Structures are given as structure tokens and as C-alpha cells.
Amino acid sequence: MYKFPEGLYCDVRIEDIYSTAITYKKRELQSIKVRNNKGAFIRVFDGEKWYFTSTTDLNSIQISIDELAEMTNPKEQIENHPIISKFEVHKDQLIQYEENSITDISVEEKQKLILDLLYTIDNPIITNYQGVYVDKKVVKQIYTSKGSEIKFDKQTCGVKFSFDLKDGEKTDSGRYSKAGIVFDDLVGIENELEIEISKSIDFVKWAENVEPGEYTVLFGPEAAGVFTHESFGHKSESDFMIGDETMKKEWAIGKTIGKPILNIIEAGTVLGNGYTPYDDEGNKGRKNYIIKDGKLKSRLHSTETAAILEEELTGNARAMNFEYEPLVRMTTTYIDKGNRPLVDIIGEIDKGIFVDTIKHGSGMSTFTIAPARSYIIENGKITKPVKVSVVTGSVFEALENVDALSEEFELLSFVGGGCGKMEQYPLPVGFGGPYTRVKKLNVQ
């Protein structure tokens, strides 16, 4: 298909993106956006440096390859370079959404779905609200100078509601979202939306400021997912480790990170936001244990990091869209389910905080979770709602302090938003887990 220059490695990733966004404020239509965009990202490697460009003119991809090649220093036998020899070669077509395609659902049907749900929002404490329907279907093609020819598709859809609440002088905001793969996943969710609104109303009425201090914290699946992502997920991205002997020693494979109950999985095979059957370098997505029985089992890799660190490929090279190069990114990251009933785990907590939903999180040496809704746990029961600005902990210690995991378990995708790394935000990722109890976290 393309003439790849001698002495260089080259790959071309073409993306054909269909997406819909329908926005209502209260019950008034604000916008309907249906996009059909195509673009390509081209990479060339000469054994020393990478050269990238992107284009929306698919007829000029060969010109882009040739222009990048002019900047390089080609090498003989480039195919023997350790990074190049690591790339997998696949010839595959994995098209799963020709039936059940969101492109076959009319805009009118999508509008009706969101508008019918908006009509269920009716409470004087809710002063303003907004509903959004979104969907996205991407068909990717990857061609490499080693011979890969891959074509696959991925599809997601979702609805998201945000609302402002006011009870006397007290204000708050709430949200509810439901993510799916096919349109039918979003049908019949009125009850879930009503439950979420009712919890938000209860919260704005009764929540008081938390007394700051160190607490045992119980994370619900949403919060546990973000906790896992921020406290450990980013540390397992190997590009942070290249050329860094201290990090390599600190995070050596086999090191004990947590108790034996702890298993953290990173899986591009899970349908949803993080679904990555092939990563953006054409390497197969897979299920990876990054922590098994409390010990560090593997890291997340691109081809380059796997070659440099002499470890196995994991299928984690992802780019936000065709304007960007792949980086080592997460797919779906979660603590594996435990074997204890939630009621027992709560029953053991004399004084703690339950974090139900979150606003955002971050992870560096300290990880942070900014709760949206949280509650006090007293004498083994969840009692009063409480306002918390941030929960923090050391990324080095937090996983050691995970001491209970529930058999109740959920995997989730956010609707809108995603993971940020460097300039590439937001990248859709999956997350979730069991109810997760962590000792000794700081709550402000």
C-alpha cells in the first residue's frame, strides 16, 4: 500500500471516526453534532530518533512518509535494531460492529432517549440540569514497514447528566452517567438515574464538613478504580522508568507491594473505554497482571520500552487520536475482586470514610482523590454524608494498606473525560474494582 523507505522503520495509522454529541439544557435542545473525520499519523524511526507527522489528507500519506524520511539518518539492517525487532507483525481484520452499529441508530432515536430521561428530572431542589448523549465508533488501520496490515473497530456510547442543587444556602452539584457498547445498553435506566438524583439531594441537604485527619477509607468501585489508576497505574507505565536506575530498583519485578489479597489487572481485552484489541503500534492487546498476590508481576509497555527494559510486550501503546503519537497508557485497570461480603468489611470499621463517587484524582508521589459524595462510617455502619475536599496518601504505602476487598465488583467507563498524560487528555480508559478498604489515608 505504501512505499516504505530503505533503512528506516515506518508505520501509518489511519483513523476513521464517527461520533455523535447531543446536548440538552433542561429540556431545551442546545446542539446536535454528528462528526465524520478521517486522519492519519505517520511515524518514521532511523534507529536514533523518531519523526512524526499527522494529516487529514489521506491521499498525501506517501508524501508525508517521504518528507519525514528526508529528516532522518537511515541505517542498514534497521530490522535488527532491538526496538524494531520487537514489533509484532499481524495481518488481521477484526470488525465487530457492522451489526449493532451506533451509526445505524437515527439521530432522532438518540434524541428521544436523552429527552425521555430528562423528563424524569423534576425536583425543586434541582436548580439547573443538563443531559448529553455521546457515541463514537472508530475504525483503525495500521500498516507497518515490517509487514503488519491490521484493521479493527471499537465502539462506545453513553449518556451523562449533570445537575446543580440548592437547599437553602447550601449548594452542590451532582452527576449520573451510563456508558455502553451498543445503543440498547442505555435503554431502561430511568431507575438508576432516579436513585442517583435522590442520593445527591440527600447529600446537599445533610452533608457537613469532615473533621480532617487520618482515616480508614472504604472506596466504592468508582473510587477504587480511580484509586488504583492514580496510586499505581501510572507508576506501571514503563516510559517513566527508562534511564532511571533508582526507579528500576524501587519497582523491581517480584517486589512485594501489598498483601497477598491484592491482584491488579490491566486488560485491553475488556470492552468499553479501554478496549484495545491492537494497540496503536499494531501489537496485540492482552490481559496483564501487574500485581499478583501482592507482588509486582509486570509493567506496561510500548515496543520501545519493552525492548529497552528487555521485557515482554503488553499492548499498551495508545494515542488520544490521529493527531498524536502513541505513549505507554493504561487500558482498563482494576483490582481483582475479593472474597469478602461488603457488609462484613464495613462492619469491621469503627471510624472511617466511605467514598462513593468522585470528581477527579491524580497520582505522583502522593495520590489524590477528590470525592463528590462521601459518608462517615461509625461503629460498623455507614451513617452521615460528609463533605471532603481531598483524600491523599503516599503511592509507596497506599497499596500496602489495602486490607480488605469485597466480592461485590464492578467495571466502569466514564462518559466524557478520561486519563491525562502530558498533553494527551482525555484518553478514554476503563476502571473499577471491588469495594476496597485502605487504612491510614489523609482526609481534608
| Phi, psi at 432, each rounded to 5° | 135, -160
CA pair distance 143, 146, nearest whole angstrom: 8
* Alpha-carbon distances of 118 from 41, 71, 217, 417, rounded to whole Å: 39, 55, 34, 21
Q: Which is nearer to another protein, 96 or 392 (CB)?
A: 392
Contact status, residue 272 vs residue 418, Cβ threshold 8 Å: no
CB 3 within 8 A of CB 118: no
Are 219 and 377 a contacting pair, CB within 8 Å?
Answer: no
Judged by CB under 8 A, does residue 165 bind another protein?
A: yes
Quote the cell numbers at residue 404: 480488605
* Contacts for 355 with CB less than 8 Å, ≥ 6 apart: 217, 218, 219, 220, 223, 369, 371, 373, 374, 388, 391
Does 8 bind another protein (CB under 8 A)? Our answer is: no
Measure the N-to-C terminal CA separation of the chain; round to a whole number of Å. 58
115 touching another protein, by CB under 8 A: no
Residue 49 binds to another protein (criterion: CB under 8 A): yes
Query: Interface with another protein includes 9 (CB under 8 A)?
Result: no
Contact between 212 and another protein per CB under 8 A: yes
Tell me, residue by residue from 74 to 103, as one string, x for binding to another protein by CB under 8 A and - for no binding. ------------------------------
Touching another protein, residues 354-393 (CB under 8 A): 359-370, 387-390, 392
Q: Which of 116, 190, 202, 250 binds another protein (CB under 8 A)?
A: 250
At residue 331, φ and ψ (nearest 5 deg) are: -115, -90
| Binding of residue 70 to another protein (CB under 8 A) | no
Residue 341: CB minimum distance to another protein, A: 32
Decide: is 60 part of the binding site for another protein (CB under 8 A): no
Give the footprint of another protein on residues 19-38 (CB under 8 A).
23, 25, 28-33, 35, 37-38
Q: x/- contact string, 313-332, with another protein (CB under 8 A)? A: ----------x-x-------
Q: Of all helices (H) and strands (E), which one includes residue 37? A: strand 28-45
The Cα–Cα gap between 14 and 258 comes to 41
Question: C-beta of 245: minimal distance to another protein in Å?
Answer: 7
Which of the ranges 189-197, 231-239, 285-293, 408-416 carries the binding residues for another protein, by CB under 8 A? 231-239
Q: Whose CA is closest to 6, among 104, 77, 59?
A: 77
> Which residue in the set 76, 99, 245, 350 belongs to the binding site for another protein (CB under 8 A)?
245
User: Binding-site residue total for another protein (CB under 8 A)?
Assistant: 73
* Binder of another protein out of 73, 85, 209, 383 (CB under 8 A): 209
Q: Which of 56, 73, 85, 93 binds another protein (CB under 8 A)?
A: 56
Nearer to another protein, 54 or 141 (CB): 54
Please give the Cα distance from 133 to 329 (Å, whole number): 26
* Residue 303 or 406 with smaller CB distance to another protein: 303
| Calpha distance 187→166 (Å, rounded) | 29
The verdict on 166 binding another protein (CB under 8 A) reads yes
What stretches of 331-432 show up as alpha helix (H) in DSSP?
342-347, 395-398
Nearer to another protein, 48 or 99 (CB): 48
Least distance between another protein and beta carbon 442 (Å): 7
Out of 70, 106, 379, 422, the residue judged to bind another protein by CB under 8 A: 422
Q: Which residues pair with 278 in a beta bridge?
A: 284
Contact of 56 with 38, CB cutoff 8 Å:
yes
Could you say whether residue 127 binds another protein (CB under 8 A)? yes
**Cβ 44 vs Cβ 9: under 8 Å:** yes
